[in-house]
Amino acid sequence: MEVAVLGATGYAGCELVRLLCRHPGVEIAFVSSESHAGSSLDLVHPQFYNLFELELQPLRLSAIPESVELVFCALPHGSSAGVVPGLLAAGKRVIDLSADFRLRDPELYEIWYSRTHPVPELLDKAIYGLPEINREAIAGAELVANPGCYPTAALLALAPLAAKGLADWDSVVIDAKSGVSGAGRTPRQPFHFPECTENLKAYRVADHQHTPEIEQCLSHLSGGSVTVTFTPHLVPMARGIFSTVYLRLQRGCTADQLDQLYRDFYGGHPFVRVLPPSRLPETRLVRGGNYCDLGLRFDRRAGRLLVLSVIDNLVKGAAGQAVQNMNIMCGLPEETGLTQPPLC
């Protein structure tokens, strides 16, 4: 199957090319970049020298070959919404890595992204692409909204509790840390090396745009309205997300019962690894892989459950999850092209 990658020189787009160029079921037939059109990808990302030689094209829908069946949009937030309607009209299936189609309510999009959604009629058509909770819907989707990196880590930590009605939502605090690549490839002062190194800081406190995405999915799973406290932090590493979720339970459960709950919920989902009690998640142990590692600890003295969740923000938090969604959409084994171990 032929695919296209729009925005191939950004971090997520580059990671898509890395995964897809060795995927046994696809051929990349078109790659675009507004800032580097006319160049080869290896001039922007030298690791592709002699490995991927397709020329980067300007983003014109008419230039995408008719033979392309599925398009990955790795474009900046706000840009995908202008492109996706034309792709769907041309009969392409689309996986969008931006935030443009993740929220079902256009008013929420306007509040959190400070712009009016240009095609609100497509929001109900988009399927939220978290395979561990939406696999069946993804299989028949024409448009998949790939989840954000922070929501992926947080939702995989909380989904089993939401589905079983165990979480006391008034108590939920999501304390999340991300590597700097989560801010994208465009240079900006706060992400300059001297500003980031030897430093740890919170940002967008009580105001981060991933908050409604997390709440929307948890509300759907739990069958009620959910509000959480979500605080993101920037840490001086290139890749990775570490989320520690603190909460109280609605009713008593033993550690063994909780462990079994998570193992049952993620049984048959190859990319969520529930760790044994002797281990705790570490970002370096998922680097470069499409895995989410989860660890559970119950603080009996405080009466709180702690769920620790780690992912590579560019793989399971972006490009890897997009490939996972493609596999499901196209009837391929879900793990095709994604089983390489992390780079520890």
Burial status of residue 293 (CB atoms within 10 A of its CB: 0-12, 13-18, 19 or more): buried
Token duo for residue 251: 């009713």
CA dist., res. 282 & res. 280, Å (int): 7
Strand-by-strand arrangement of the 292-299 sheet? 201-202, 229-234, 167-178, 241-249, 304-311, 292-299, 272-274
DSSP string, 203-259: -STTT-TTHHHHHHHHHHHHTS----EEEEEE-SSSS-EEEEEEEEESS---HHHHH
End-to-end CA distance of the chain: 32
Token duo for residue 117: 């959604």
Catalytic hit among 73, 149, 196, 292: 149
Question: Which residues neighbour 259 within 8 Å (Cβ) at sequence distance 6 or greater?
Answer: 274, 277, 296
CA dist., res. 264 & res. 1, Å (int): 34
Whether 149 is catalytic is: yes
Question: Which residues neighbour 86 within 8 Å (Cβ) at sequence distance 6 or greater?
Answer: 61
CA dist., res. 255 & res. 277, Å (int): 9
Token duo for residue 284: 């370096």
- In degrees and rounded to multiples of 5, residue 280 shows phi and psi of -125, 150
The residues annotated with a catalytic role in the active site are 149
